[in-house]
Structure 1
Amino acid sequence: MSEGCLYYVMGPSGVGKDSVLAWVREHGVAHGVLCAHRYITRPAHAGGENHVALSEEEFRSREQRGLFALTWEAHGLHYGIGNEVAHWLARGADVLVNGSRGALAMACERFPALRPVLITASPQAIASRLAARGRESEDEIAARIARLSAYPVPPGSVVIRNDGSLASAGAHLLQTIRSGRHNLANT
């Protein structure tokens, strides 16, 4: 059995990463794709993603015990990806991880064969989504939009634009995974 591939999904707030990953979670199981949960020091009801909520103490305890494959901090929160992903990969599953651009180098060290995936959207779509979320002021949204050009596309990334239908972006991600399997089978 060949090892699965880790798809490291990233993109700025408002591009719809969580929505694309939720779509793939719903439609990708038939294709053998597993979506890893993030462990976050954020309440379970906060934010739009399906995550495992941990207190800061529980997060640190798990981190000290080596239970995370990856960890990082962003926006005053701690994020982790559990070691279970290595187990899934070793058993041939393709795994999607909701990552951070800031932790990409660490992820590449831990999983050298990972495929980076960048979800993007137009500044207008991002601003609209952030406003609808209601967590940031207009000034904070404008600052996020202004920072968009500061984030270049990481080398080797698959780029998926999420300006159209969610199904289109999700299907593009699933097609990327299927193509990766096909390429591995032919090598």
Structure 2
Amino acid sequence: MSAAQGRLIYVMGPSGAGKDSLLGFVRERIGSQVMFAHRYITRPVSEGENHVALTHDEFAARLANGVFSMHWESLGLHYGIGVEIDAWLARGQRVVVNGSRQHAPAALERYPHTQFVHIHASPAVLAARLERRGREDSRQMEARLARRPALALPEAARVTTIDNSGLLADAGQQLLAAIDQSLKPA
């Protein structure tokens, strides 16, 4: 990694794993030291989630105009990460992205020095969190819980796994450590 090249920290995991809560925890502690990319999603913003809500037409227009560095579709929703992350990385910044497990190989191809952080929680915790947030009906929640996309990354990929079944502060400290670790050369 050259001195001018930043590092992408790609946070991923199943719905209900607490990614947004963990990112909020970290942001409160080191928000000025790391760039946190906004996600653009074709759904309204709900409590505890940091994204820009777009209609399907708005998303399609932005995609057609090349304003996403990464984008994917999951369960009928479209997700995008803005091209501003390329400028931040070029300036040597650490950039945190809330990404998708299924899109991780494409992210690694585009950003070969990516540090992946896989957040998970026990099935019971995932189910309870999905129900508590009330964003989906029971059929949609079941579909989310049933998804088990393979994490198909090369052996050389840098992956940190964090269990967020317990206290937010415990998992949050682990995420802070993973972000700190991202400064070390690959």
Letter in 2 for 1:33: V
TM-score normalized by structure 1? Answer: 0.86
CA distance in 2, matches of 1:36, 1:136: 25
Shift in Å at residue 162 of structure 1? Answer: 0.5
TM-score normalized by structure 2? Answer: 0.86
Give the aligned partner of residue 115 of structure 1: 115
Letter in 2 for 1:35: F
Letter in 2 for 1:105: P
Shift in Å at residue 110 of structure 1? Answer: 1.4
Give ranges in structure 1 of 5+ residues lacking alignment: none
1:163-174 alignment to 2 at 5 Å?
Answer: 163-174=165-176
Shift in Å at residue 113 of structure 1? Answer: 1.2
1:93 is the counterpart of 2:99: no
CA distance in 1, matches of 2:150, 2:115: 18
Shift in Å at residue 47 of structure 1? Answer: 5.9
Provide the aligned length of Structure 1 versus Structure 2.
181
Shift in Å at residue 135 of structure 1? Answer: 3.1
State the secondary structure of the residue aligned to 2:182: helix
Q: CA RMSD in A?
A: 2.2
CA distance in 2, matches of 1:118, 1:22: 16
Letter in 2 for 1:171: Q
Give the aligned partner of residue 29 of structure 2: 27
Shift in Å at residue 101 of structure 1? Answer: 1.2
Q: Does the 8 A contact of 1:120 with 1:159 survive in 2?
A: yes
Q: Does the 8 A contact of 1:33 with 1:93 survive in 2?
A: yes
Shift in Å at residue 151 of structure 1? Answer: 3.8
Q: Does the 8 A contact of 1:118 with 1:153 survive in 2?
A: no
Taking only the aligned residue pairs, the percentage that are identical comes to: 49
Shift in Å at residue 143 of structure 1? Answer: 5.0
State the secondary structure of the residue aligned to 1:102: coil
